[in-house]
Chains A and B, each alone.
Chain A
Amino acid sequence: MPKPLIALVAAILLASGVSHFSGHIDPYYLDVVTGVGINVILAVSLNLVNGYTGQFSLGHAGFMSVGAYLSAAVTLLLGQKLFGEAGGTELQQGLLFLAALVVGGLGSAAAGLAVGIPSLRLKGDYLALVTLGFGEIIRVTFQNVESLGGALGLNGIPNYTTVFWVYSVAALAVFTVVCLVRSTYGRGFLATHDDEIASEAVGLDTTRYKIVAFVVGAFFAGVAGGLYGHFKLTITPTGFDFTKSIEIVVMVILGGMGNTPGVILAAILLTVLPEVLRSVDEYRMVLYSLLLIVLMLVRPKGLFNFDYARIFARLRGGRAPGN
């Protein structure tokens, strides 16, 4: 079995192991840990679009909301029909949740395709604006669909999200993104990022790469949305506005664009940080925003962007390459 696959299986087993003991963990910490996992999925999947492929999307929260609503609709509607009042066995619930997550992810991927095909012809700031616009349109639409709760949102979503689900999906997201980018096919993402014109000149279909990145990113955003809905138990359209998108973008940028370990660390840091700052609650968000500005001024290439080759070389006692 190839190494990444072993790592994936190990991560899922570990997640299910930890999940088994989640009853013994303080619920507050469990909440934070779950939140961290969901943000890791969002940040890693956005990193495929913004980091590796170099396209600036500001609509990730919109895709997240599509997944959240679709999967919540599946568990709410089908759950009642299939299990009735009894609520079904744990296995049945698990399978239903899996189906709901897949439906949410696929629906979101379809939305990603629909958004991506027209807008990925644009570049830079303009692409950012169009994705932002689509995110907001999705939000306003949900606000107006009465059958999905309108502005009040959906309530009474069953509590299915566990540490096992969140971290299995997170592991799967990391696995997918890393393997995709490292594959022969996936070199095209990096090429699109580095120089679009040169890539086209050597025959790469850059538009196709952008759309693939967008769709895969949207898929995981949708699944993360499903997990989020079954974790918070209630979803409102305003929870997925563009501030949420920006929050995810910030994780990617602080982690260092196209640097998966860094992005994971940044997602953890930026989820835990507001919790730590809770003791100074009033100043919490002020400090958060100040930190963002200072970090951009001091470490513009991302907080966790180290020259790994140089560090390893130094650890081995040799001379650093490139000196």
Chain B
Amino acid sequence: MTEFLQQVLNGLSLGAIYALIALGYTMVYGVLRFINFAHSDVFMVGAFIGYYVGEHLPAGTVWGGLVVLAAAMAGCAVLGILIERLVYRPLRGGPTLNVLITAIGMSLFLEYSGQLVFGATPRAFPSIFPSKVISVHGLIISMNQVIVILVASVLMVALELTVYRTKIGTAMRAVALNPKAAQLVGINIDVVISFTFGLGSMLAAAGGVLYALNYPSIDPLMGVVPGLKAFVAAVLGGVGNIPGAALGALILGMVETFVDGSRFSTYKDAIAFAILIGILLFRPAGLLGRFATEKV
């Protein structure tokens, strides 16, 4: 029983990180209908900003940790908005495949310039938050896991409030529903898309810092695998659907943690894709997605 609870806890914290990344994918897909491949590298940049800021702050304090998080989120929001403005906007309205390839190009660019600037060797991430391990009836709860789950929950509630209770959030939903009609009622679509990229990148940055805290080693290619899995999570929940992304990420985090603990652990990386294929074949709209019939 303790082992089971332990795995649930581990799965929950992994799922929370996937959720933060998946939300960015799903929001961008919602408004622009394309897979932002560079998103996983924004996640990586977030972890690196956290690393550099964290070096200059006293380790192991709550306020220091929060400053690191805020810095990474602000930095990545700017990066996300810049990427959209410089690279994706000129291609908007063009064939989706071109945007997809550009996104892949952007992803490679961030990875390779990361190797150039940060160096290719993995680095140890400083423990910016107070690290403590609590043991309850043999259940080992690390402070980092608690922080991951806490921060992720706060951010997701904040996102939910932004999307459903603010003007810009309403505009985002309008653009996702029908970009042309949104423009007709006077929504500045450029501002909304920039905002969406900024918001998604902020969440990815938070995910990056939290991931680095829990798996304390960072390198320029660290985003690739979590990024792919987070996208799978977004599809699992129904791409373009915000609660769906969070749900999909939690499921994926749990399943992966349990597979990792079983004797099939070496197949851990394949599981995410097996789930992806299964869901796309049997319920292509995702768990919470609505199925749109195609009109001729």
Please list the residues of chain A having a beta carbon within 8 angstroms of any beta carbon in chain B. 56, 118-119, 121-122, 124-126, 128-130, 132-134, 136-137, 140-141, 143-144, 197, 242, 246, 249-250, 253, 257, 282-283, 285-286, 288-290, 292-293, 296-297, 300
Contact = CB atoms under 8 A, between A and B. Distances in A.
Given A285-B108, A286-B113, A129 B102 contact: no
B141 to A, nearest CB: 31
B101 A289 contact: no
11 contacts: A122-B281, A122-B284, A133-B232, A133-B273, A137-B270, A242-B228, A246-B104, A285-B115, A292-B105, A296-B105, A300-B95
A124 B96 contact: yes
A298 to B, nearest CB: 10
B126 to A, nearest CB: 27
B280 A130 contact: yes
Majority SS at the chain A contact face? helix
9 smallest beta-carbon distances between A and B, as pairs: A133-B273, A292-B105, A289-B108, A289-B109, A140-B270, A285-B112, A293-B105, A296-B102, A286-B112
Q: Which one of A132, A133, A282 has the highest number of Cβ atoms from chain B below 10 Å of its Cβ?
A: A133
B113 to A, nearest CB: 5
Nearest to A134: B277
A56 B97 contact: yes
B136 interface: no
B35 A300 contact: no
B267 interface: yes
B112 A129 contact: no
Interface of B: 34-35, 87, 90-91, 94-98, 100-102, 104-106, 108-109, 111-113, 115-116, 228, 231-232, 235, 266-267, 269-270, 273-274, 276-277, 280-281, 284, 296
Contacts of A253: 97-98, 101
Contacts of A197: 296
B101 A297 contact: no
Contacts of A246: 104
A246 B224 CA distance: 13
B101 A129 contact: no
Contact of B104 (A122, A257, A292): A292
A136 B87 contact: no
B280 A129 contact: yes
A242 B91 CA distance: 24
Q: Which one of B34, B104, B228, B267 has the highest number of Cβ atoms from chain A below 10 Å of its Cβ?
A: B104
Contact of A133 (B90, B97, B276): B276
A250 B101 contact: yes
Given A136-B269, A288-B108, A289-B112, A257 B276 contact: no
Contacts of A129: 35, 231-232, 235, 276, 280
A121 B277 CA distance: 12
Given A253-B97, A296-B102, A297-B91, A126 B116 contact: no
B96 A143 contact: no
A48 to B, nearest CB: 16
B102 to A, nearest CB: 4
Contacts, number: 109
Contact of A293 (B87, B100, B111, B274): B87
Contacts of B280: 119, 122, 126, 129-130
Contacts of B98: 253, 296, 300
Given A121-B281, A130-B281, A136-B228, 9 more contacts: A126-B235, A130-B280, A249-B101, A250-B104, A283-B116, A290-B105, A293-B102, A296-B98, A300-B98
Given A56-B97, A144-B267, A296-B98, A282 B116 contact: yes
B170 to A, nearest CB: 26
Nearest to A131: B277
Contacts of B91: 296-297, 300
A134 B113 contact: no
A144 B268 CA distance: 11
Contacts of B94: 300
A236 to B, nearest CB: 15
B274 A137 contact: yes
A98 to B, nearest CB: 33
Given A119-B281, A130-B277, A140 B269 contact: yes
Nearest to A282: B116
Contacts of A144: 266-267
B97 A136 contact: no
Contacts of A130: 276-277, 280-281
Given A130-B280, A288-B108, A289-B109, A297 B87 contact: yes
Nearest to B266: A144
Contact of A297 (B102, B104, B113): B102
Contacts of B274: 133, 137
A156 B277 CA distance: 35
B68 to A, nearest CB: 27
B116 A286 contact: yes
Given A140-B270, A297-B87, A133 B105 contact: no
Contacts of A249: 101, 104
